[in-house]
Chains A and B, each alone.
Chain A
Amino acid sequence: MEDKIIKQISLFAENKPGRLANIASNFRKSGINIRAFTIAEAGDFGIIRMVVDRPDDAHEVLHSAGFTVSETNVLGIEMEDVPGGLGKIADVLGEKNINIDYAYAFVTKTEKALLILRVNDIEGAILVLQGEGIKLIDMADIQQI
């Protein structure tokens, strides 16, 4: 089950010019690739969430650059490219009373849609989703994207 957990990099940033550029240049120097990326913005601050190819290195690089950064366990779901794909996921989690804290999606080179989810019960969610035959991706898949 462990291998279906994806380590997401989460980072606290003040909402001011240059913060994103700083993160990007740290990654460029270390050859870290961003696979998925989103910013949750709340007035003066934002939380930047990223899925990268080497999360432990990314954490180390950003921490030593002085950022407040953490690794968060999330799920990566390969979406069916048919109407109702997202609805199905939300339904099965809802039935088991598992709450989605946040979600964001991106499209891969192979033209598949991937959904990143943070839930309040990650192990429960893995069981439910796999039980429904929904495909979860792992860190190895992330590196392949």
Chain B
Amino acid sequence: MPVSELEKIQEKKLSDLVNYVYRHSVFYRKRFDEAGVRPGDIKTLKDLKKLPFTYKSDLRDTYPTGMFCVPNEQLVRFHVSSGTTGKPTVVGYTQNDIDVWTTSLARAMTSIGVGRGDIVQVGYGYGLFTGGLGAHYGAEEVGATVLPVSSGNTERQIELMQDLGSTVIACTPSYFLFMNEVSNTAGVSIKNDTNMRVGIFGAEPWTEEMRKRIEESTGIKAYDIYGTSELSGPLFTECMYQDGIHIWADQFLIEVIDPATGEQLPDGERGELVITTLAKEAMPLIRYRIGDITVINREECKCGRTHPRIMRVLGRVDDMLIIMGINVFPGQIEAVLMKIPQVGEHFMIVVDRVNELDVMKVQIEMTDEAFSDKVNDIMALESKVSSSLKHVLNIAVKVELVEKGSLPRSMGKAKRVIDNRKL
């Protein structure tokens, strides 16, 4: 569809949405009134910036259902976030919300060639977390067969992958690498002994280098999936060209802003992603500060789709570490490490404050391939990693090689940072 037509749809839906929330939500009416905005002021997409932002803290402050626009009897489901970074947030869904969510993922799966004949092994957690059920519904919608293993139980995952011939895996990229490690130890090669051909990986930031590593070691095509529970769950993926995540413009409106000033940034500039839901009923979100750092690309994709793309999300505003006044994203560190062939997948960033100074240490697991019994060789590897990190981050980083298997493994989101500073 031409961009102009998509924009017409967006304008109509945006103006309907603003009227809808003003009528149905006490929260938004108050917000709009405080900002001095009337629904009638929002006529074109250019007026978007007049609307106030919505924050994750708003969902917490109105816990559990204070942001809902429909009475509870119209809901067909709740999902609840884990609350690892504070009070949990609750999202309610009408039947239509579930349908829109399913359609979004079905489009995404179609764009990577997943459909009838595929067996989709869902290794995201099922339950209050949206990952499992989201991938499940999307895969069923495109006619694929779903194998709902949920997360964990790694030996079983590998056994079922072989016995039932799963062709697609949906889980976190770190968990898939862990599966690969476990299956190799058991003498099973995902590349040669299974039908696995596509991975749908997300729920944690990962890098281009990690993609290369996954694709080379397991022989699958690895695609990035994006979404968050507040917006329904996982919603968008890259297409076959693996060049940015397509955001369905008829359902969601995106902008990138400067996180410090809140000003919209031109396309192509890196900033915080802000999303407005155009098709949600139970809990629409207006200019939601999702907290992810990315870049928007509105050029037509090689696949022919005109829906805008966001580039790979490399970090979150909240994950940003400030080390001696310099902003550091764990994703930057991962990108550096993945470029060094002797370094394995497992690492941990440890930040301490020693004598009033921030000290950052990166622990990396020794691999069988990198091990030399000469002390000098190991110290040379440490200083090679350290100087590559310094080159990119502009701060001194102490690198420490640790024994293999000694860093925590994760079945869900990988924990990469331990911040011991008492700030």
Contacts and interface: CB of A to CB of B under 8 A. Distances in A.
Given A14-B403, A68-B403, A102 B374 contact: yes
A13 B366 CA distance: 10
Nearest to B373: A10
A68 B378 contact: no
A12 B375 contact: no
B367 A70 contact: no
B402 A47 contact: no
Interface string A40-74: 10101101010000000000000000111110100
Interface size class for chain A? 20 to 34
A95 interface: no
A13 B378 contact: no
Nearest to A74: B373
A47 B371 CA distance: 10
A3 interface: no
A105 B141 CA distance: 71
B371 A68 contact: yes
B346 to A, nearest CB: 13
A12 B379 contact: no
A70 B378 CA distance: 14
B333 interface: no
Contacts of B403: 12-14, 66-68
A52 B232 CA distance: 60
Contacts of A70: 368, 371-373
Given A45-B401, A66-B405, A12 B366 contact: yes
B44 interface: no
Q: Which of B367, B372, B373, B406 has the most CB of A within 10 A?
A: B373
Nearest to A64: B185
Interface of A: 8, 10, 12-14, 40, 42, 44-45, 47, 49, 66-70, 72, 101-102, 118
18 contacts: A10-B371, A10-B373, A12-B378, A12-B401, A13-B403, A14-B403, A40-B375, A42-B379, A44-B401, A45-B400, A45-B401, A47-B374, A68-B367, A68-B368, A68-B404, A70-B373, A102-B374, A118-B374
